[in-house]
Amino acid sequence: MNQSKTQDFLFQKIKTLKGFGVKIKKLLKKKKIDKISDLLWQLPEGFTDRTNTQKLNKLEIGKVTTIKVQATKYNFPRIRNLPSKVICEDETGKIDIVFFNSREGYIKKILPLNEKTIISGKINFFKNRYQMTNPQYMVPSNKEDYVNKIIPKYGLTEGLTEKVYRKLIDQVLEKVSNLKEWHSNDIVKKLGNVEWQNSICNLHKDKSNDINSKYYRRIAYDEILANLLVLSQVRQRIKKFKKIKKKFDESLSRKIIINFNFSLTENQRKAINEINNDIKSEFKMFRLLQGDVGSGKTIVAFTAAANVIKSNWQVALMAPTEILANQHYQLALKIFKFTNVNIKILTGKTDIKEKKNIYEDLGNGKINFLIGTHSLFQKKTNFNKLGLIIIDEQHKFGVKQRIELSNKGGKNCDILLMSATPIPRTLILSTYGDMDVSRILEKPVNRKNIITLSKPENKIDEIIVYIKKKISQGTQIFWVCPLIEESKKLDYSAAVEKYKSLSNIFKDRVGLIHGNLKKDEKNVVLNKFLNKSYDILVSTTVIEVGIDFPNANVIIIENSNKFGLSQLHQIRGRVGRGKEQGTCILLYKNNLSINAKKRLRILKSSNDGFLIAEEDMNLRGFGDVLGYQQSGIKLYKIADPIHHKDLFEIAEEDIKNIELNENNFKKYNFLLKLFDKADIVNQISLEKTI
Ligand code: ADP
Ligand code: MG
């Protein structure tokens, strides 16, 4: 097959392959195999070695084994539904081959008496005898070559047999002739000089390949680069949108900054500069402001807002929850108090009359700054001249959602996304490569590290004494209940139990919040905690991360080894946001595993979200770290950021070179298609949607 034919072939639907019925196609669909290329990524999970036949006195129970035997006696049941049995022997022993649901004629044909047959299957032991039930293979010994192979094992769906599946994949591998190399010579050399076709065939056929083999690494690199390429293209496209330049002077934002009762950190200043330069430029801003919890992102965003407002454009800020929106709103009122900036809040709770006024004043430009939840972006909100959208992102946005966001304001609208999700270094580019990134790596100087302690659960009496003392000193307490095996129902009952037992001691000074509450009910509880009607707030993991509870400085996290490190770090970030010292107590059940101990130790010794994310990934494997499994955004199916760290580094360099010459991108079209990434870039539009 020539080059372009191979390419077409790979993107054809699976149903164009020959020799398979509707049933198989349905099963493949269940495994999300739709195009022929999808088959390639289902790498074997292991291999069965059939190259050696085993003598019957050397059998191991439970192992898939190939034997060469002759049938000596048939034993067909007189009662239906009982299995048939064939006694077989070699010179060293005997074995029963057992068949369920097979007819006599078939068995006699496939296992003729006194003829050597090669049989492969799993060895069992039953009533003092070896047996094999429904063998995978039975062939006459003169066809030995056929059985004596190393055979790949795939993760199969019920009903899809290995034989059928292998026939499929063999058909495909046979047809993929080599394709013109898309990587530069330099890169190919770094990858060990292996070609694509050779690599993919090897991974399906040769059992000596593991995640570090050069064939595996070649394919992993392809995937990493495809990911970076698509993000790079998104970024370049968005940044090429010419916009009306915003002319501003920094007089307003300077005044705001002077009024803070603290001075900005170096990183905050740098971020403000980067953002200002983007806003002033003739190209659309598409920037991420990344910083750990409590690093002071909000202030940075507000100075950007001030500058945009000063240049006569409107600004919208979207927060993930009502309470957070309200908190931002209150802060904005304070910060902009001495100016004539008109600020309004719009959430699901805003009453109809007020909403109407807001819509009107947005349309005529009287409102300069609108803060709210996602109700900001409903059809009825029509801005007069929207120049900046700021998103305080607590939820995880994937690249597609970010593109949607960029589309929303049209080409004149700058975009600033804030994120506190700590990301291991290797993954930064593949997570956020579509945006320019400003990072705040340092904490405000007056900020003390959160003191983190761990205690076994049976010391709870000591904890109660401790929090009583803290409460008497005017501190409020978060009490986070364990995550029980991902079950919301159990999470809930654990929190209710804890609420009851703490209420016995602290009476009506305890509040409870959990995922089953409605939004409004949650807000009531959170507000009561904010205005100090409660001393203790018991919660499942649902409490909002970004809210400032300046008076809550102790957090107790139960069964802490059930959480991921990054998650624990974010949860504890709820305390210690003000001037007071924050304390976090990690409770654990006795008999912690070594790994669990290690994790708690990391948390106790570090307050750096990025370092913690890195360690978390090393301990748990990368799949879990970013919560991709839950959010359904899985970044990689082949590559592994832990094992292939060096490949990520090579790709970072590679992408810089590729970006230097735009024509280069065309070379990689096939690669993008291969990894299902070709369509993403086309979703970028210039049209305004709000
Ligand atoms: P986050 O990055 O988590 O959104 P915030 O912007 O909410 O953090 O800031 C957390 C707290 O730190 C706020 O109370 C804010 O006023 C304060 N803060 C921000 N920058 C500084 C600074 N440079 N020095 C001291 N405190 C600061
Ligand atoms: Mg925040």
Ligand 1 close to Cβ of residue 297 (< 6 A): yes
Alpha carbon of 563 to ligand 2 centroid (Å):
22
Alpha carbon of 298 to ligand 2 centroid (Å):
6
Ligand 1 close to Cβ of residue 464 (< 6 A): no
614 vs 283: which has the higher pLDDT? 283
CB burial of 308-341 (b: ≥16 within 10 Å; e: otherwise) equals bbbbebbbbbbbbbbbbbbbbbeebeebbeeeeb
pLDDT value at 116 more than 80: yes
Range scoring the smallest mean pLDDT among 132-136, 177-181, 229-233: 177-181
Alpha carbon of 419 to ligand 2 centroid (Å):
8
Q: What is the pLDDT of residue 671?
A: 92
Q: For 118-262, where are the alpha helices, taking DSSP H only?
A: 144-147, 162-175, 185-190, 196-205, 214-239, 251-259
Residues 6 or more apart in contact with residue 587 via CB below 8 angstroms: 454, 455, 456, 457, 460, 463, 556, 557, 558, 559, 560
Ligand 1 close to Cβ of residue 573 (< 6 A): no
Ligand 1 close to Cβ of residue 291 (< 6 A): yes
Among protein residues, the one whose CA lies closest to atom 26 of ligand 1: 444
Q: What is the pLDDT of residue 622?
A: 60
pLDDT value at 317 more than 90: yes
Extract the tokens encoding 292: 């750990």
- For tokens 């580019």, the residue is 429
Check if the beta carbon of residue 461 is closer than 8 Å to that of residue 520. Answer: no
Q: What is the pLDDT of residue 166?
A: 83
Nearest to 581 by CA among 442, 439, 455, 453: 453
Alpha carbon of 279 to ligand 2 centroid (Å):
21
Q: For 173-225, write each residue's pLDDT tens digit.
A: 988 887 889 999 999 999 999 999 999 999 998 877 888 999 999 999 999 99
Q: What is the pairing mode between strands 116-126 and 64-75?
A: antiparallel
pLDDT value at 373 more than 70: yes
pLDDT value at 248 more than 60: yes
Q: What is the pLDDT of residue 507?
A: 95
Q: How far apart are CA 575 and CA 553, in angstroms?
A: 5
Q: What is the pLDDT of residue 273?
A: 97
pLDDT value at 286 more than 80: yes
Range scoring the smallest mean pLDDT among 47-51, 248-252, 457-461, 679-683: 47-51
Around ion ligand 2, which residues have CB less than 5 A away?
A: 546
Q: What is the pLDDT of residue 663?
A: 73
Among protein residues, the one whose CA lies closest to atom 25 of ligand 1: 444
Give 47's strand partners: 152
Based on DSSP, count helices (H) and strands (E) in the chain, helices before strands. Answer: 26, 21
pLDDT value at 20 more than 80: no
Q: Which of 289, 299, 393 to mutate to test the pocket of ligand 1 (most atoms within 8 A of CB)?
A: 299
Q: What is the pLDDT of residue 485?
A: 46
Ligand 1 close to Cβ of residue 187 (< 6 A): no
Percent of the chain with pLDDT over 90: 46
Mapped to the 3 state alphabet, what secondary structure does 289-322 carry? EEECCCCCHHHHHHHHHHHHHHCCCEEEEECCCH
Q: What is the pLDDT of residue 629?
A: 40
pLDDT band at 395 (very low <50, low <70, confident <90, very high): low
Among protein residues, the one whose CA lies closest to atom 10 of ligand 1: 294
Q: For 57-81, write each residue's pLDDT tens digit.
A: 999 998 888 899 999 999 998 887 7
What ligand 1 atom has the least distance to the C-alpha of 264?
23
CB burial of 196-216 (b: ≥16 within 10 Å; e: otherwise) equals beebbbbbbbeeebeeebebb
Supply the mean pLDDT for the chain: 87
Q: How far apart are CA 432 and CA 416, in angstroms?
A: 13
Q: What is the pLDDT of residue 545?
A: 59
What separation in angstroms does the CA of 519 have from each of 348, 526, 534, 536? 10, 10, 19, 20
What ligand 1 atom has the least distance to the C-alpha of 300?
6
Alpha carbon of 545 to ligand 2 centroid (Å):
8
Taking residues 310-330, report their average pLDDT: 91
Percent of the chain with pLDDT over 70: 93
pLDDT value at 142 more than 80: no
pLDDT value at 249 more than 60: yes
- For tokens 């990072």, the residue is 439
Taking residues 21-50, report their average pLDDT: 82
| Sheet bearing 510-513, strands edge to edge | 451-456, 583-588, 552-557, 476-480, 536-539, 510-513
Nearest to 371 by CA among 384, 358, 380: 358
Residue 456 has phi, psi (to 5 degrees) of -70, 150
Q: For 404-440, write each residue's pLDDT tens digit.
A: 888 888 889 999 999 887 788 888 888 889 999 999 9
Among protein residues, the one whose CA lies closest to atom 15 of ligand 1: 296
Q: Which of 266, 295, 329, 418 to mutate to test the pocket of ligand 1 (most atoms within 8 A of CB)?
A: 295
Q: What is the pLDDT of residue 578?
A: 72
Alpha carbon of 478 to ligand 1 centroid (Å):
20
Most confident residue range from 13-22, 558-567, 670-679: 670-679
Nearest to 391 by CA among 328, 312, 441: 328
What ligand 1 atom has the least distance to the C-alpha of 392?
4
Alpha carbon of 293 to ligand 2 centroid (Å):
7
Taking residues 504-514, report their average pLDDT: 93
pLDDT band at 680 (very low <50, low <70, confident <90, very high): confident
Expressed in percent and rounded to 5, the helix, strand and coil fractions of the chain are 45, 20, 35
pLDDT value at 625 more than 60: no
Q: Which ligand has the nearest atom to the CA of 576?
A: 1
- Helix (H, G, I), strand (E, B), or coil: what is residue 279? helix
Check if the beta carbon of residue 201 is closer than 8 Å to that of residue 653. Answer: no
Check if the beta carbon of residue 383 is closer than 8 Å to that of residue 535. Answer: no
Range scoring the smallest mean pLDDT among 79-83, 432-436, 507-511, 600-604: 79-83
Q: Which of 259, 577, 580, 610 to mutate to test the pocket of ligand 1 (most atoms within 8 A of CB)?
A: 577
Ligand 1 close to Cβ of residue 659 (< 6 A): no
Ligand 1 close to Cβ of residue 262 (< 6 A): yes
Ligand 1 close to Cβ of residue 433 (< 6 A): no
What ligand 1 atom has the least distance to the C-alpha of 299?
6
